[in-house]
Amino acid sequence: MKIDVIIIGAGASGLMCALECGKRGRSVLVLDHSGSMGRKIRVSGGGRCNFTNLCVGAANYLSHNPHFCKSALSRFTPADFTALLDKHGISYHEKEKGRLFCNKSSAGILSLFREECTRYNITLRLGCRVSHVMPGNGFSLSTDHGVMESRSLVVATGGISYPELGATDFGHRLAGRLGLKVFPVRPGLVPLTFSEQDLRMFRQLSGISLDAEVACNGKTFTENILFTHRGLSGPAILQASSYWNRGDQIEINLLPHFDIYEVFLGHRQSRRELHNLLSDYLPRRFSLLWCKIMNPSRQLCCYSDRELRKIAALLHAWKIRPRDTEGFSRAEVTVGGIDTDELSSKTMEAKAVAGLYFIGEVVDVTGELGGYNLHWAWASGYAAGQYA
């Protein structure tokens, strides 16, 4: 006897897809090699789960086809997910930039999915590893729990970020074996590391944070940045990292909210030291080292206009070339994945293999920081759940 739908992956997209299939009366089996479900849900948002964003739109996603995500996003909105939370009495709140978090822990969302799976007779089989998938008259899966067969197969295995949580490249390898194009993957929402030269100069700033504007490959983000013992992190850096490729330069405006040259002009006759003035706007330890490296500090009245313009330009457009990222072990998401041209944007079904669906992070759709990746998981899982 064949199961109607087998879903590989008990994460956010797989669980949402399972619920939608179950609502349609389909028999559903969810497999996961891990011993627990929704492990990324559990750690999201520092354990409070940044489950969506009030401002979800296609512009918040990175993909070789920026239009692909529009269909799924239009059919499952942030209000749809908060309605599910309201139904289960899970309270939540809005933080900066439209980010929604649970008031309590992310465990509430996992309990929600357990209850819904029970309601729709969805079977979860955890600790079950799939070794081979054979398409034919439906799908035959070889697992360490035996052979399983289904009419439809949904691959919701995620990307390869968070390997310590059990992330693998199974979905990408399966897609490749079945003839689908897969874009190379790289870490996204990940800290960047300094070159050896920059590390020698700036390592002592580790622990300092400040608000800045970070630009990379045409995208600009204004949030906090954090100096680490290896390089740069913080929300603005994590955002930019998804658009960064090895060898690229990033530009940082250390004072994004005003023109520091105008401030200099207001102190043109002052005998105050440059680093003291900058300490009014930047952390003192940063100001001291910045002046030591970039321009030895003198009294403001001792600088020429040309020198002050140059200093202001450096502060508003500090250009650095990171050496690398901190890799998938520190990345929140995977950039790249299954080419969306291989899939239907309406159903998430593979165009070349009937009954085969790919959803969530395994697909070449990557959200920005702030709940967008989990929302893509919900939305793509919902889309596939209407058809699988």
Task: For residue 119, give the CATH number of its domain.
Answer: 3.50.50.60
Same domain (yes/no): 310, 379: no
Point out the domain boundary residue: 291, 308, 325. 325
Same domain (yes/no): 281, 259: yes
Same domain (yes/no): 175, 212: no
Point out the domain boundary residue: 284, 308, 325. 325
DSSP 368: P
Interior CA angle at 220 toward 214 and 222, to 5°?
A: 60
Same domain (yes/no): 71, 155: yes
Record the pTM. 0.95
pLDDT of residue 66: 96
At residue 280, φ and ψ (nearest 5 deg) are -70, -20
User: Residue 303 belongs to a domain with what CATH number?
Assistant: 2.40.30.10
- Structure confidence at residue 275 as a pLDDT band (50, 70, 90): very high
Point out the domain boundary residue: 300, 325, 350. 325
Tell me if 284 sits within 8 A of 277, measured CB to CB.
Answer: no
Same domain (yes/no): 109, 181: yes
7 by DSSP, 3-state: which?
strand
- At 170-215, the pLDDT tens digits run 999 999 999 999 999 999 999 999 999 999 999 999 999 999 999 9
pLDDT of residue 165: 79
Strand order in the sheet with 324-325: 318-320, 250-253, 209-216, 219-227, 231-233, 192-193, 324-325
Same domain (yes/no): 150, 199: no
Same domain (yes/no): 197, 182: no
The range of the structural domain enclosing residue 220 comes to 192-325
Same domain (yes/no): 308, 367: no
At residue 90, φ and ψ (nearest 5 deg) are -95, 115
- Structure confidence at residue 167 as a pLDDT band (50, 70, 90): confident
Same domain (yes/no): 358, 373: yes
Same domain (yes/no): 54, 172: yes
Maximal C-alpha separation, the chain? 87
Tell whether the torsion through CA atoms of 184, 188, 190 and 194 is positive or negative: positive
**Gap between the Cα atoms of 263 and 280, Å rounded:** 11
Q: Is residue 79 over pLDDT 70?
A: yes
**Count of domains forming the chain:** 2
Same domain (yes/no): 151, 114: yes
Q: Is residue 1 over pLDDT 70?
A: no
- At 89-108, the pLDDT tens digits run 999 999 989 999 999 999 99
Q: 383 or 43: whose pLDDT is higher?
A: 383
